[in-house]
Amino acid sequence: MRLLFMGPPGAGKGTQAMRLSAELGVPQISTGDIFRHNVAEQTELGQAAQRFMDAGEYVPDEVTNEMVRARLAEEDTRQGFLLDGYPRTVDQVQTLDEILAELDQELDAVVVLSVDSEELIARLLKRAETSGRDDDNEDVIRHRQEVFKAQTAPLLQTYEQRGIVVEVDGLGDVDEVAERIVGALAAAGKS
């Protein structure tokens, strides 16, 4: 199974991708988590990413694409993967297409989680109480929503045209949303 998880910040991508990857036995590849790990370890990649993340901006495509290319070349992705938070720009969509063509692989589905924006902001403000993330403060949270609307939401059309989008209502408790995702994938003949 090769899946993408897309949706605005706070929609539950990371939360749901972690659960589903354990169920399917394929790795979850979260670009946000990889960046945060590198920031914590103060690697060169982390230094390149940090100021963009702190400002709620996307890390430049060339940095992000190179990181994903290297990750998808690893052996554990042969049987499938779940990409969480990538691609987020037109350039990243093109690069992912190239990477998958080189690997002779295709995406099975793009899971899109939809949640209204006030709920998204409330969730991220709640997470801010404990996360310690520099991008979990109200101004940056609102900016991240704008960046998503401008740069990432339009990409959904590309995948819709390919007929692989599975849209799921992300409102409700985590178990409920997880059940909906499994049900929607099955209904689309993707499991």
List the one residue out of 173, 123, 166, 160 whose CA is nearest residue 145: 123
Q: Which residues are catalytic?
A: 13, 88, 127, 133, 144
The least CB distance from residue 189 to ligand B4P, in Å, is: 25
Question: CA quadruple 69, 32, 61, 2: dihedral positive or negative?
Answer: positive
Closer residue to ligand B4P in complex, CB, 71/144: 144
The least CB distance from residue 28 to ligand B4P, in Å, is: 10
d(CA 157, CA 96): 16
Do the bridges between strand 109-114 and strand 28-30 make them parallel or antiparallel, or are there none, so unpaired? unpaired
The residue type at 61: D
d(CA 111, CA 117): 18
Query: Which residues are near ligand B4P by CB under 6 A?
Result: 9-15, 31-32, 35, 52-53, 56, 58-59, 64, 85-86, 88, 92, 123-124, 127, 135, 144, 172-174, 177
Closer residue to ligand B4P in complex, CB, 104/150: 150
The least CB distance from residue 18 to ligand B4P, in Å, is: 8
Closer residue to ligand B4P in complex, CB, 52/191: 52
